[in-house]
Amino acid sequence: MAVSQVYLRYAMGIKMNKKWWHNTIGYQIYPKSFQDSNGDGIGDIKGIIQHLDYFKELGINVIWICPVYKSPMVDHGYDISDYEQIDPSFGSNEDLDELILEADKRGIKILMDLVVNHTSDQHEWFQKAMEDLHSKYADYYIIKEGSKGEPPNNWRSIFGGSAWERIGNTNKYYLHIFTKEQPDLNWENKELRELLYDMVNRWLEKGLGGFRIDAISHIKKDFNYKNLPADGKDGLASGWDHFSNVEGIEIFLKELKEKTFNVYECFTIGEVNDVKPEELKRYLGEDGYFSSIFDFCHTNHRVRDKKWVNNPIEMVNELRSLLFSKQEYANGYGLLCNIIENHDLPRAIDRFIPEKYINYYSKTMLGAINFFLKGIPFIYQGQEIGMRDYPKKKIEEFKDPTTYNNYYEHVSRGDLEENVMGKINIETREHSRTPMQWTDNKNAGFSEGIPWFEVNPNFKEINVRKQYNDSKSLLAFYKKMIAVRKRKDLEETFINGETVPKYMESSGVIAYERVRDNQRILVINNCNNASITLELQEDIKDVLLNNYDQIMLDQSDIKIMPFQVVVMEMQ
């Protein structure tokens, strides 16, 4: 989209009505690994309650919690067997009520994960469907006849293997685009949809701030079940275009919003991939299906990949283009959620910073790169203290089904074991799921018992307690950064101001202005391990944030040190 089109949208008066969540600083919790309160080695809801004052001091006002519903935990809670009950490993429904109440006292809203593309195969609906394939429950799922003793087609599950599972000795199969223990729901069934909407509203009535909606782009399927050209040795095909953002999904998403989200003033974040620019207005903002969606543009970039290992600045330049492109086409429609980490990604420090350049300056600069872009910044647990990847020596040390699927896929190609483990240690999402590092005590203060997943041995050096009173720590920098973002005199510019890229001719520099009326805020991130000199267009009114002790000026020039980030209000 041309920049002139972006400005045209503003000239036509397209702007957002103020919502309570527009000035959000979000924090994502992976509850299994956050804080164990009862010594069973698994994080729980009471553990979250213990740290609510920590969030308030940090400046957080929205917390998104990954699934805590009843579940067999095949996919760590994303396989739900009862939407109405909290899993005993996390506590009770009463614990969640207490969390909502105590968070609200501190000005914090709680978001839960909403997983309605699929259920667990242990869900009552699926169990009844399997008991009687002619019952109404069978139509709650996607069940089809096989073809000549084979599945209905050759779609591959996102987690590997066929997306179809045979039902006993019948010629019928059920669809699962994730694990076979996560059968997909049939959103074509109106009765099922109404049950889901009622469930959503019961949770919102409890006082939830809203939801992050998982895998929602997959709820509509293209029911043309012809085989696709195989794209692997397994004879299967990804089928992505047939179960992601399929035409007709808008009917379901509009209905979901009208019957649930619109009834309450709630904040919703859609996990939606690959939305085309021309379709974004359907998904995002006041007239969209969701309040916001995540900006995933950077998630496939890893500095240790062969493509970038010897030229990390080229990766930075590509990321810069992607970030600004997303800003440009979202402008005038709504606010993206800006992240660098989540539970499905390796840790950002290891993804983006070459090992030899990891230090206080590069870590603080990384945290600030997209924090001041237009949108809603979200921090993932441990990001604020610089938690790192925890490479493993053997595949048996991992827990996640997708890690094993990736491992076996590499092995099937004939890769050597050591090479496969090297790739897995770069790719796996389990690095982000190691227990939160609170102290340098036993198990990093996460649990008095045996943690469900091994604590990263670096917890003696990287933990909240060590950084808490250190003014030069990463945690202290995050507090400062959040405080700047929430300043009342800057708030409207950070929420509604345009994003104007700057210094694009300078390689390895991600810089932009946030502009609204007569206020201009310049953000400069130097991703180079070398100083650079830039010409300032205006005088500096105020230095809002700086990860160095000083700024070096020479008339109209500013010298930016290696990995320096500086945020300035300009005259």
- The backbone region for 351, taken as left when phi is positive above 0, alpha when psi lies in -120 to 50, beta otherwise, is alpha
DSSP string over 10-35: HHTT--PPP-GGGG--EEEE-GGGT-
CA angle 188, 191, 197 (to 5 degrees): 95
Residues 523, 514: contact at Cβ < 8 Å? Answer: yes
Q: How far apart are CA 41 and CA 445, in angstroms?
A: 11
Q: How far apart are CA 369 and CA 374, in angstroms?
A: 12
Q: How far apart are CA 137 and CA 102, in angstroms?
A: 39
Q: What is the CA radius of gyration of the chain?
A: 24
271 is catalytic: yes
Residues 120, 80: contact at Cβ < 8 Å? Answer: yes
Q: Quick one: which of 184, 178, 262, 169 has its CA closest to 220?
A: 184
Residues 330, 471: contact at Cβ < 8 Å? Answer: no
Residue type, 227: N
Residues 166, 218: contact at Cβ < 8 Å? Answer: no
Residues 289, 257: contact at Cβ < 8 Å? Answer: yes
Q: Six-digit token pair at 130?
A: 């399997």
Annotated catalytic residue, options 271, 341, 384, 389:
271
Write the CA distances from 316 to 301, 312, 499, 510, 512, integer angstroms: 9, 6, 18, 8, 15
Question: What does DSSP say about strands 565-570 and 519-526: parallel, antiparallel, or unpaired?
Answer: antiparallel
Residues 213, 268: contact at Cβ < 8 Å? Answer: yes
Backbone angles phi, psi at 380, to 5 degrees: -95, 145
Backbone angles phi, psi at 330, to 5 degrees: -85, -15
Write the CA distances from 171 to 141, 174, 179, 348, 431, integer angstroms: 16, 10, 20, 46, 40
Q: How far apart are CA 264 and CA 173, in angstroms?
A: 38
Q: Six-digit token pair at 30?
A: 């992976």
Annotated catalytic residue, options 214, 295, 328, 350:
214
53 is catalytic: no
Helices (H), 30-177: 45-50, 52-58, 93-105, 124-131
Q: Six-digit token pair at 286?
A: 């006041």
Residue 488 CB contacts under 8 Å (≥ 6 apart), including other chains? none
Helices (H), 260-400: 280-283, 312-330, 348-352, 360-368
- Kindly report each contact of residues 536-540 with a partner whose C-beta sits within 8 Å and lies 24 or more positions away, as own/partner: 536/570, 537/570, 538/570, 538/571, 539/570, 539/571, 540/568, 540/569, 540/570, 540/571
- Residue count (the chain): 571
Q: How far apart are CA 278 and CA 36, in angstroms?
A: 45
Q: Is 108 helix (H, G, I), strand (E, B) or coil?
A: coil
Place of tokens 């899993």: 87
Q: Catalytic amino acids?
A: 214, 271
